[in-house]
Chains A and B, each alone.
Chain A
Amino acid sequence: MGMTHVSTTVNGDREEFLCDPRETLLDVLRDKLALTGAKEGCGTGDCGACSVTVDGRLVCACLMLGVEVEGKSIDTVEGISTDEELHPLQTKFIEYAALQCGICTPGILVAAKSLLERNPDPTETEVRYWLAGNLCRCTGYDKIIRAVMDTAAEIREAT
């Protein structure tokens, strides 16, 4: 079996791994790099639990091959907080209890962070459409949307 050598950057750190061409980026993150924040929900790009950014672009890690990330920069939920300090989105998700079982949460945090970097003042409709590819089967969406809206407001006030 031919394994391919891949060099990449994950959350700012250089990483190297060997992978079979059929392995997805999600397989690589979870099984080779021990970054288990991104979850496999559906494996077909429908649920968004595996959301990460690649060169700043929000994607499903289950719909990208490990061999495709050669030379790319990947950011996962593990890189959202800095040292001991939670990201404002994480703080708000706790404050609003915007999670129950937590499976969808890493993907939603990564997706919401990507939205706020592009659009610091989104409308509720924009937040709902942006997060339409992140499915939650527990708490529903209302608290998630309110937590994201309030985080955006707080970041705007702070800057």
Chain B
Amino acid sequence: MHMQYHSPESFDEAVSLASKSEGTIRFLAGGTDVLVQLRSDIVTPDVLIDLKKIDGTKDISRTAEGWKIGTAVSGAEMSEHPELSRDWPGVVEAMDLIGSTQIQGRATLVGNLCNGSPAADSVPALIAAGAAVNVVGPKGERQVRVEDIPTGPGRTSLEKGEMINEILIPAKRQNGGDAYLRFIPRTEMDIAVVGCAVSLSLEGDTIIDARVALGAVAPTALLVEDASKAIIGSNLDDGTMAALAKAASAACNPINDKRGTIKFRTHVAGVLAQRVAKIAYDRARG
């Protein structure tokens, strides 16, 4: 079967190509998931649309609202950006955990999100950071919160002809900090058994705002409102930490597999939430 390859020079052209194409369409940026699926005959696209020739897709820019990260920006380019790393260390470290040096040279945030893996490392970090994405499609543009993109393993809420052109991360808040940790049985090159991200901000020693997100413990990454509420108004005293772990574990709806049992994942979610909250808190204090 023949696969058509297109490399449009604008998102208008990409949307028009994607809208009128028949069969399986895939968008190509870093290709670290798309090419693996193609080569192992899991998904052979009829139409492959390479977005990297479009202006701005490799840009990281600071805007009035925060940060704008183009759809083809690689993990390595994020880690090498000192100001982005200073503002959102949790987002950058979550992306940096994905794969090897070689994978970092290609893999992208948008790809990690649209691949739809419940264990995607960067997704909980983006959710905790309050990030959104800009979606372009046949009906125009819309902004969608990151937590509303994945709908299940391998599935997203994007409609035919739609694609994400930018990740939008809010400006770093005054006295704000974020962090991400995952549990894996090795030290490197593995898939999260549980991932947890926390973003919070302080007034004095007190948390006034927080978002807690979990990965790999449900069909999609989760924003855990009860865990966020558990730490707002506190300085992470022992009682608060216990309530945080309880809320994080209560939100879990994981699978049993060779990487972790339901019981293990549920327990580890609580432990990680405590550790991540502490790191984010220390970063917020500066």
Contacts and interface: CB of A to CB of B under 8 A. Distances in A.
14 contacts: A4-B5, A22-B38, A45-B32, A45-B102, A57-B105, A58-B105, A62-B35, A63-B31, A67-B5, A68-B28, A68-B50, A68-B52, A111-B102, A131-B101
A114 B100 CA distance: 14
Interface of B: 2-5, 7, 28, 31-32, 35-36, 38-40, 48, 50, 52, 74, 76, 99-103, 105-106, 188-189
Top 4 A-B pairs ranked by shortest CB distance?
Answer: A133-B100, A21-B5, A57-B105, A60-B102
Contacts of B189: 46, 132-133
A114 B28 CA distance: 25
Contacts of B52: 68
Interface residues of A, number: 32
B39 A64 contact: no
A45 B9 CA distance: 28
B154 to A, nearest CB: 17
B35 A24 contact: yes
Nearest to A61: B102
A2 B31 CA distance: 21
B164 to A, nearest CB: 20
Given A22-B3, A59-B106, A65-B5, A132 B101 contact: yes
A65 B36 CA distance: 11
A48 B4 contact: no
Contacts of B40: 43-44
A32 B122 CA distance: 37
Given A68-B50, A111-B101, A63 B32 contact: yes
Given A24-B39, A57-B76, A65 B101 contact: no
Contact of A64 (B4, B31, B99): B31
A111 B105 CA distance: 12
A1 interface: yes
Given A21-B4, A59-B105, A59-B106, A132 B100 contact: yes
Contacts of A133: 99-103, 189
A68 B32 CA distance: 13
